[in-house]
A and B are shown apart, each in its own frame.
Chain A
Amino acid sequence: MKYQDYYQILGVSRDAGPEEIKKAFRRLARKYHPDVSKEADAEARMQEVNEAYTVLSDPEKRAAYDRLGQGWHAGEEFRPPPDWGGEFHFGSHGFSPDEATEFSDFFSQLFGGLGGFGRQPRGFRSRGADHRAQVLLDIEDAFTGATRQLSLQQPQADAQGRVTLATRTLNVKIPPGVREGQIIRLAGQGEPGTGGPAGDLLLEVRFRPHARLRAEGRNLHMALPVAPWEAALGAVVPVQLPAGTLKVRIPEGSQSGRQLRVRGKGIPGSPAGDLLLDIQVVLPRADTPKARQLYETMARELAFDPRDAGRA
């Protein structure tokens, strides 16, 4: 178990007053807010900051922490003194027991884990807390469904009530038709209850970026490159999708930027999403005599001014 230097984490001196500690915490809470932070490890840093503030903002916990002395350095291997524990009773300070279980081993050793810290009396039969995790999928998985193996770090209490992080591996079947942001609930896979049922595990679906497809709800967006004659004359072109190849009719006289909607060919479900194709006319290069000749013929024989505001 590594020693945590809570003063260093908040960037305050050991004799900082409560106001100074609160100010430092708020500054860091703003810096590492996961929705706006530009820092790569914002979530992990915020966890440390929450933990440090939980201890240093509470006079009892802070006094207990200070009793460990100043001889320790952050990251140093740490064992609590043999006479530690039993004499403190710590209350909850804003963080729920569920959140406190995400704090470090160091914290749970010092201030009690699931059995001690902040646990609101819920009676003998209480339901376990829900846990959350993200599951990263490919858009293809939304068509076919998939089975994903997830490794979760979950706090577990031993017989003495001490909390350690255990890695738990779950195989989860993802049903077809999932959308980004959707939540898959695995009933009973959260924290065990006390006499009551276990909590749920809630998995939030995220898609990996795809080379050609972008999902918006169950609709799929895709660029569709077409030749000038396909756009001008109309054509039926093949479109590769995760579910197979689809034939799509390009209407005569299509221009770049026109969007074609193919109903029901997005992510399956009830209702299924649509496939939205953005037409992009791609010009052949004039790099052979034949190609040059064809362009020159068009230039000579077609009365076409692309800058004419009145053109169709």
Chain B
Amino acid sequence: MRDEDVLIGSLLEETWMTLEQLAAACAVEPDWLRHHLDEGLFPHTESVSGVWRFSAAALTRARRMRRIERDFEAVPELAALVADLLEELDAARARLRRAGLD
């Protein structure tokens, strides 16, 4: 393919990601994801007739949790707690931005 060609992307969230796609996108093993899903560490994630589907937000969460677990040898529940707090921080920062206060 030539570099000059124009690429047309598809928007995630309108397509959703499968478990394997999410695992590939955040460089984790699918088993790591399955284990964390079974333990309920991914809230707001749904499975439709046994098939998991993930939004773009789940991608950020998976990367964060894996990073906390690896860097600090944290247990998954602690990494999930940190991810919860970071998500609240994101939401609070977005509200400040919208109010023009950041």
Contact = CB atoms under 8 A, between A and B. Distances in A.
Contacts of B11: 175, 177-178, 182-185
A214 interface: yes
A261 interface: no
A129 B27 contact: yes
B16 to A, nearest CB: 11
Interface in A189-228: 189, 199-200, 202-204, 214, 216, 221
A26 B72 CA distance: 6
A174 B98 CA distance: 24
Nearest to A199: B24
B12 A171 contact: no
Size category of the A interface is: 35 or more
A229 B21 CA distance: 57
Contacts of B25: 130, 132, 200, 202
Interface stretch (A7-15, A92-100, A105-113, A303-311): A92-100
B7 A172 contact: yes
Interface in B1-19: 3-13, 15
Interface string A225-269: 000000000000000000000000000000000000000000000
B28 interface: yes
B7 A186 contact: yes
B59 interface: yes
Interface of A: 25-26, 29-30, 33, 35-36, 94-99, 127, 129-130, 132, 147, 168-175, 177-178, 181-187, 189, 199-200, 202-204, 214, 216, 221
6 contacts: A30-B72, A130-B25, A132-B25, A172-B9, A175-B9, A185-B15
The 4 A-B pairs of least Cβ separation, nearest first, read A184-B9, A96-B27, A29-B71, A183-B12
